[in-house]
Amino acid sequence: MIPETIRLARYVGNGRVEIVEEPAPSLPAGGLLVKTEACGLCSGELMAWYMDRKLPHVLGHEVSGTVVASEDNRFPTGSKVFVHHHAPCGKCEMCRLGRPVHCPVWKRTKLKPGGMGDLFAVDSENLEDTLRTDDLRPMDAALIEPVACVEKALRIAGSDLDQPNAVIGLGFMGLVHSLLLPNAVGFEVNPSRIAYAQSLGIRAESAGGDLDSFKDSFESVFVCPGSQKGFDLALSLVRPGGTIVMFAPLAPAEDLRVPQAAYFKDVRLLQSYSCGPEDTRRALQRFKIGQLRAEQLVDRFASLEELPELYVKMRDGEILKPMILF
């Protein structure tokens, strides 16, 4: 039975989240209604400059759940699903060029009202990047989207990933990079994050120490925090002819400064924004074969009512990542 009202987490500005009750969404033509089972908090949802321009905004796009109403035979009632909040058309020029995140359909699609609530609606267009996850735990399926973003970064780097590679920043996304790269060194300033990464078997070093021994050592360097300092460190670590991948944006008032050293080192500089269907399928397989588990990457499993407090704790670096279980 579909409820008349649902609870959801709404970002209200100035770094604050409130749990509110609103009317439940209706079943879209050709789409789905999904009962949420697990939803992660994305680090991108912590950036005030990004979130404040979206007001009012319901949190949640790292999500999985159970279909409770369906107008698509591929996803019958009772099936478990991962739903990407954006999905491309697969037909336009950008899609044909393998650039789905620049597809006009991808840009306009979204979950309604959002994944961080009891129930959400999925338009038919979103089903182009919706996957059945009947054989996965909800907490693992909910992480397909962020892991897929890392899959894209690794894919576009295009280098031999068995070569020495570096990851700057060992928050959630940095941990995923480091766990998927077979020969990586992670660099981090937070001692507790260094210790946590090491507990997962990751080689983790202090980014504030003497790094002369690592100079010009890595084929690819993945920069997870959006910062000039992160890029500057990457430029010192990357080999001549190597690749730097910027995984996150700088704040709007900041422009990335690329010094002449990048030219003389023949460095290839790439940006990696979000992910598409090819990447979500790869991420799904990582969880299916047991290469990744939610417990490696999430340090707080909690209820929706706890989210406002956990939002602040994640923003302030007190916890790694919370996931809400419904």
Residues 44-62: tens digit of each pLDDT: 998 888 888 888 899 999 9
Say how many domains are in the chain.
2
Q: How many angstroms separate the CA atoms of 160 and 109, rounded?
A: 34
**pTM of the entire structure?**
0.96
Same domain, 82 and 44: yes
Nearest by Cα to 219 from 188, 260, 257, 183 = 183
The per-residue pLDDT for 17 is 95
User: What is the extent of the structural domain holding 204?
Assistant: 150-271
pLDDT of residue 321: 98
In this predicted model, what pLDDT tens digit does every residue of 130-143 receive, in sequence order?
A: 999 999 999 999 99
Q: H-helix or E-strand containing 228?
A: helix 228-237
Flag whether 276 is in a domain: no
Taking phi first (over 0 means left), then psi (-120 to 50 degrees means alpha), and beta for anything else, what does residue 126 get? alpha
Q: Are 182 and 303 within one domain?
A: no
- Locate 238 and state its tokens: 């990357």
The least confident of 47-61, 118-132, 199-213 is 47-61
Is 283 domain-assigned? no
Query: Residue 72 falls within a domain, yes or no?
Result: yes
- Residues 97-114 have a mean pLDDT of 97
Instruction: Determine the pLDDT at residue 159.
Output: 67
- Report whether pLDDT(127) > 70: yes
